[in-house]
Structure 1
Amino acid sequence: MNIIETKNLTKRYGDFHAVSEVNLHIKRGSVYGFLGPNGAGKSTAMKMLLGLTRPTSGSFTINGKTYPENRIAILKNIGSFIEGPAFYGNLTGEENLEIVQRILGLPSSAVSEALEITGLTKAKKKLAKKYSLGMKQRLGLASALIGKPSILILDEPTNGLDPVGIHEIRSLIRSLPEKFDCTVLVSSHLLSEIELMADNIGILNQGKLLFEGQLEELKDKAVKLGYPVDHLEDTFLAMIDADNKERGNLQ
Structure 2
Amino acid sequence: MKYIITTEQLTKKYKNFTAVNGVSLHIRQGSIYGFLGPNGAGKSTTMKMLLGLTTLTEGSFAIDGKHFPADRLTILKEIGSFIESPSFYANLTGRENLDIIRQILELPKSSVDDALELVGLEEFGNRLAKKYSLGMKQRLGLAGALLGRPPILILDEPTNGLDPTGIHEIRSLVKSLPTLYNCTILISSHMLSEIELIADDIGILNHGRLLFEGRMEDLRRDASQESFAADNLENMFLSIIEKDNLARKKEAKL
Bucket of the pairwise TM-score, normalised by the shorter protein = over 0.9
What is the correspondence of 1:116-131 to structure 2 with a 5 Å cutoff?
Answer: 116-131=117-132
2:88 equivalent in structure 1: 87
Q: Which runs of 4+ in 1 moved over 3 A?
A: none
Distance in 2 separating the partners of 1:240 and 1:133: 31
What code does the residue aligned with 1:123 have? F
- Unpaired runs of 5+ in structure 1? none
1:77 equivalent in structure 2: 78
What is the correspondence of 1:9-48 to structure 2 with a 5 Å cutoff?
Answer: 9-48=10-49
- Unpaired runs of 5+ in structure 2? none
1:184 equivalent in structure 2: 185
Per-residue deviation at 1:191?
A: 2.0
Identity over aligned pairs, percent: 63
SS in 1 for 2:153: strand
Distance in 1 separating the partners of 2:133 and 2:211: 36
1:160 equivalent in structure 2: 161
1:57 equivalent in structure 2: 58
User: Does the 8 A contact of 1:35 with 1:190 survive in 2?
Assistant: no
1:134 equivalent in structure 2: 135
Per-residue deviation at 1:244?
A: 1.0
1:239 equivalent in structure 2: 240
Deviation digits for residues 119-170 of structure 1 (CA, Å, limit 9, x no counterpart): 1111111111111110000000000001211100000001111111111111
What code does the residue aligned with 2:177 have? L
2:145 equivalent in structure 1: 144
TM-score by length of 2: 0.97
Per-residue deviation at 1:190?
A: 2.9
1:209 equivalent in structure 2: 210
User: Does the 8 A contact of 1:11 with 1:57 survive in 2?
Assistant: yes
TM-score by length of 1: 0.98
What code does the residue aligned with 1:57 have? E
Question: What number of residue pairs does the alignment pair up?
Answer: 251
How large is the Cα RMSD of the aligned pairs?
A: 0.9
